[in-house]
A and B are shown apart, each in its own frame.
Chain A
Amino acid sequence: MASDREVLRQVWEGKLPVCFSLAEEELQDLQTPDPFYLMVPRLTYFPLVTDKVKRHFIKHAHPEKQEAEMWLDYNGTPLKWQYPIGVLFDSLLGADATLPWNITVRFDRFPEKELLKCPSRDVVESHFMSCIKEADVLKHRTHVATAMQKKEHYQLWQGLQNDKFDQFWSINKKLMECNRNEGFKHIPYRCHKGDQFSLPLQRLVKPFEEPDCQKTLGDLIHFLLPSDDEKSLKVIIQGVEPSWDTPLQWLSEHLSHPDNFLHLSLHSI
Chain B
Amino acid sequence: MENSLTSHYPGRLSVRFRLKDRFRGSGSVVARLLCHLGVFNKLLDQNRNFNSADEFESLFSIIIMEAGNAANEDKSDSSPVEEQPSSVAETASDALDAGNAAGANAEPTKRPKPASSDKSKIEILLKAAGNAPILKQKKWIVPQDRTIGWIMDFIKRCLKLEGGENLFLYLNQSFAPSPDQVIANLYECFGADGNLVFHYSLTPAWG
Contact = CB atoms under 8 A, between A and B. Distances in A.
Interface of A: 80, 82, 116, 126-127, 129-131, 133-134, 136-138, 143, 145-146, 153, 186, 197-198, 200-204
Contacts of A80: 180
Interface stretch (B31-39, B80-88, B183-191): B183-191
B116 to A, nearest CB: 18
B151 to A, nearest CB: 15
Contacts of B145: 200
B207 A133 contact: yes
A198 B182 contact: yes
A202 B189 contact: yes
Interface stretch (B42-50, B104-112, B169-177): B169-177
Interface string B158-182: 0000000000000110111111111
Contacts of A116: 149, 178-180
A65 B178 CA distance: 27
A197 B181 CA distance: 9
A127 B175 contact: no
Interface in B105-154: 144-145, 149
B203 to A, nearest CB: 13
Given A137-B172, A202-B189, A204-B189, A130 B177 contact: yes
A197 B207 contact: no
Given A116-B179, A200-B184, A186 B189 contact: yes
A198 B181 contact: yes
10 pairs of A and B residues whose beta carbons are closest in the complex = A133-B175, A202-B185, A134-B175, A200-B184, A130-B176, A130-B175, A203-B188, A133-B174, A146-B174, A200-B182
Contacts of A143: 174
B200 to A, nearest CB: 15
A198 B176 CA distance: 16
B189 A203 contact: yes
Size category of the binding interface on chain B: 20 to 34
Most buried by A among B175, B190, B207: B175
Contacts of B181: 198
Contacts of B149: 116
9 contacts: A82-B178, A116-B149, A130-B178, A130-B207, A133-B174, A137-B174, A200-B145, A200-B185, A202-B186
A127 B178 contact: yes
Given A129-B207, A198-B182, A204 B177 contact: no
Contacts of A198: 178, 180-182, 185
Contacts of B144: 200
B190 to A, nearest CB: 7
A198 B184 CA distance: 11
Given A130-B178, A203-B188, 18 more contacts: A82-B178, A82-B180, A116-B178, A130-B175, A131-B175, A133-B174, A136-B174, A137-B174, A137-B190, A143-B174, A145-B174, A153-B207, A186-B189, A198-B181, A198-B182, A201-B185, A203-B189, A204-B188
A138 B144 CA distance: 21
A203 B188 CA distance: 5
